[in-house]
């Protein structure tokens, strides 16, 4: 894999399958990296076929370091996450423990301060996890971690920034139930996820304490073509994964957005698919198998983030 050092959002990533393609592909990746990020530096990493993307939420204040569990973010389009869940399902206990411990060790060695995410590729065939990168900020999918731990990550980030210390210790962190988040984008899945700008004429969200909607748009707002297409995050929590997925299906069925095309119909299809239920999906499953065609560009199994890496 060739990846842009300053990259994010799935840009500046290229897959090399044959040695004779290496130099040409490096040039292409560097060109895209320079245009997107103003930095042509690239690096190489191992390519994992049919990988899952699993990440660990960490927190540190320079002295105390801990993790707040893991998440699975393997449902992606164009190397950008659209469905996330916590904890990561169907992960061997030994692998989960090694990932969590190594994430905390990394934060400690870096003397990291604040909330961050350590990302891995998990190979479900070999039961191995390979380090991707550390994202040094709060991520779009942080609400699923908040649901299963009961920790307000935004408040904790602000506390560390203002006082220099966290009040949390690893023994304070407990995990309850399962949470799922869907990112709703103004895109047309039937046209290769082409952005769908326009004016929102209708916007109905599911009602009830079991649902959380993080959004900054209202009916009558105009979705411009110049920015990220993310409209909202829809999050649910339940006592187990099966119930959480069913609850998400109900939440999406109660979501109505008109005036722009959105990913809501695709998300409904995803959460009800037996492949997702059986945790047999991977980071390119949507484009290569579910939608029945190749990705728009051949990219790595290494995911980007969309709104945030």
Residue 270 CB-density burial (10 A; 0-12 exposed, 13-18 middle, 19+ buried): buried
Do residues 13 and 29 make contact, with C-beta atoms less than 8 angstroms apart?
A: yes
In CATH, what number does 178-272 get? 3.30.470.20
Concerning whether 137 is annotated as a catalytic residue, the answer is: yes
Tokens of 79: 């190397």
Identified catalytic residue from 24, 46, 137, 297: 137
Bin 253: left if φ > 0, else alpha if -120 < ψ < 50, else beta. alpha
Indicate left, alpha or beta for 248 from its phi (over 0: left) and psi (-120 to 50: alpha): alpha
Q: Where are the domains of the chain?
A: 2-44, 52-172, 178-272
Among candidate residues 206, 203, 241, the one with its CA nearest the CA of residue 86: 241
Per-residue pLDDT tens over the stretch 211-231: 999 999 999 999 999 988 999
Q: What is the pLDDT of residues 232-241, one digit of tens each?
A: 999 999 999 9
pTM of the model: 0.84
Domains 52-172 and 178-272 share a fold: yes
Per-residue three-class SS string for the chain: CEEECCCCCCCCEECCCCHHHHHHHHHHHHHHHHHHHCCCCEEECCCCCCCEEEEEEEEEECCCEEEEEEEEEEEEECCEEEEEEECCCCCCHHHHHHHHHHHHHHHHHCCCEEEEEEEEEEECCCCEEEEEEEECCCCCCHHHHHHHHCCCHHHHHHHHHHHCCCCCCHHHCCCCCEEEEEEEECEEHHHCCEECCEECCEEECCCCCCEEEEECCCCCCEECCCCCCEEEEEEEEECCHHHHHHHHHHHHHCCEEECCCCCHHHHHHHHHCHHHHCCCCCCCHHHHHHCCCCCCCCCCCCCECCCCC
Find residue 61's DSSP bridge partners.
113
Strands lying side by side in the sheet with 178-185:
128-135, 113-123, 52-61, 65-77, 80-86, 178-185, 230-238, 211-215
Question: How far is Cα 71 from Cα 145, in angstroms, rounded to an integer?
Answer: 8
pLDDT at 65: 98
Predicted pLDDT of residue 79: 83
Comparing CA positions, the residue from 302, 274, 267 lying closest to residue 189 is 267
pLDDT for position 102: 98
CATH number of 52-172: 3.30.470.20
User: What pLDDT is stored for residue 301 in this prediction?
Assistant: 37
What was the pLDDT predicted at 210?
Answer: 87
- Residues of the chain below pLDDT 50: 294-309
Tokens 């290494």 locate to 302
């Amino acid at each position: 894999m060739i990846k842009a050092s300053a990259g994010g959002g799935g840009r500046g990533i290229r897959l090399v399958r044959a040695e004779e393609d290496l130099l040409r592909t490096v040039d292409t990746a560097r060109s895209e990296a320079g245009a997107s990020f103003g930095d042509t530096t690239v690096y190489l990493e191992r390519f994992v076929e049919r990988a899952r993307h699993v990440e660990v939420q960490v927190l540190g204040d320079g002295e105390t370091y801990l993790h707040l569990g893991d998440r699975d973010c393997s449902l992606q389009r164009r190397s950008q996450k659209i469905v996330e869940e916590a904890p990561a399902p169907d992960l061997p206990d030994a692998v989960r423990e090694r990932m969590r411990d190594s994430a905390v060790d990394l934060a400690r060695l870096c003397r990291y301060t604040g909330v961050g995410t350590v990302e891995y590729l998990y190979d479900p065939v070999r039961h191995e996890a390979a380090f991707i990168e550390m994202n040094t900020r709060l991520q779009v999918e942080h609400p699923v971690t908040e649901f299963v731990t009961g920790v307000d990550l935004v408040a904790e980030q602000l506390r560390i920034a203002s006082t220099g210390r966290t009040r949390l210790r690893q023994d304070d962190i407990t995990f309850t139930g399962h949470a799922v988040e869907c990112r709703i984008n103004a895109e047309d899945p039937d046209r290769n996820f082409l952005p769908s700008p326009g004016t929102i004429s209708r916007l109905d969200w599911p009602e009830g304490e079991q649902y959380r909607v993080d959004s900054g748009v209202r009916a009558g707002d105009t979705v411009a073509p110049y920015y990220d297409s993310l409209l909202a995050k829809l999050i649910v929590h339940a006592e187990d994964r099966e119930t959480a997925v069913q609850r998400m299906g109900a939440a999406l069925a109660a979501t109505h957005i008109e005036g722009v095309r959105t990913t809501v119909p695709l998300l409904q299809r995803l959460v009800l698919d037996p492949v997702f239920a059986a945790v047999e999906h991977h980071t390119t499953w949507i484009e290569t198998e579910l939608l029945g065609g190749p990705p728009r560009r051949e990219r790595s199994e290494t995911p980007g983030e969309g709104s945030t890496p």
